Amino acid sequence: MIIDIHTHTFPDSIAGSTLLKLQNLSHTRPFTDGTQRGLAASMALAGVDFSLVLPVATAPRQVCHINDTSARLNQEGGKEGILSFGCMHPDFSDWKEELARIARLGLKGIKLHPVYQNVDFDDPRYLRILDRCGELGLIVLTHAGLDVGFPGKVNCSPEMVLRAVEQVGPVTLILAHMGGWRCWDEVERLLPHTSVLLDTAFSLGIMAPLGDGYYGPSDLKLMDQDSFMGMVRAFGAHRILFGTDSPWGGQKEALEEIRRLPLTAQEQAAILGGNAQRLLELTL
């Protein structure tokens, strides 16, 4: 089973304008049109069985609507293998009850994005969310490290993650982008002894530039095979989850990158789907 645990889609009515805005911010090109239909086509081409959509609430007022929409998608049985997490914003006033409602709706977890939400990950507003998710059995997947669209801005550094997990109760926490985009040395130094999981989204190989001359060749390089394998060995393959950040990463291309790594068959199967299948309790 192949499971992409880190994807994004947008409503048809705003997908075009949203992608245009984000590609101009990041100077990278998308691999789909940003719609659910586009993700389904990408999955069919790549042979991905399930994709998990990670919605981001950039304002508190969006939280309930996003969670309702995400729950409807899941209740429809995951059209074409597309499922969704819920969301939470650190400034949402009724966060405690809304997290309980998320659990009642059957959503398996939530997505946080400290850069877009402009709050540091070790802020008390996030700590209370982590604690509550742990109590409810909700998974938390957070953006970690730098963000390609916001140069120099880090609201979830490895140091912040370490301080956070030392202060909260047990919670299943997945750090996107191999623990912290372009903070990989610090991730490997500070976090292997914790319980955090990592997803592979937008971390291996090279970025796909928009073609506007913003990036030089060296700017496009992400993790090479040796660095990536060092992280696999430090954390263990059982803590690594395949993700692409679609539409910003190509699913077919990302699968090819993983399959070129010197992993055992068991390690590759765990990373590409086995770990996420157990976590999300999925069956074909």
Q: What is the DSSP string of 68-86?
A: HHHHHHHHTT-GGGEEE-E
Which parts of the chain sit beneath pLDDT 50? Answer: none
How many domains would you assign to the chain?
A: 1
Q: CA 142: distance to chain centroid?
A: 6
User: What pLDDT is attached to residue 77?
Assistant: 67
**What is the extent of the structural domain holding 233?**
3-280
Q: Domain containing 260 — which CATH number?
A: 3.20.20.140
Distances (CA, A) of 95 to 61, 89, 220: 12, 8, 38
User: What pLDDT is attached to residue 279?
Assistant: 97
Single out the residue of 219, 216, 85, 82 nearest to residue 140, CA to CA.
85
Residues 6+ apart with CB under 8 A from 64: 98
User: What pLDDT is attached to residue 33?
Assistant: 97
Q: How many helices (H) and strands (E) does the chain have?
A: 12, 9
User: What pLDDT is attached to residue 80?
Assistant: 84
Q: What is the pLDDT of residues 199-230, one digit of tens each?
A: 999 999 999 999 999 999 999 999 999 999 99
User: What pLDDT is attached to residue 222?
Assistant: 97
Residue 202 has φ and ψ, to the nearest 5°, of 55, 40
Single out the residue of 1, 6, 73, 29 nearest to residue 243, CA to CA.
6
DSSP 129: H
Rounded Cα gap, residues 247 and 269, in angstroms: 23
Single out the residue of 11, 6, 55 nearest to residue 178, CA to CA.
6
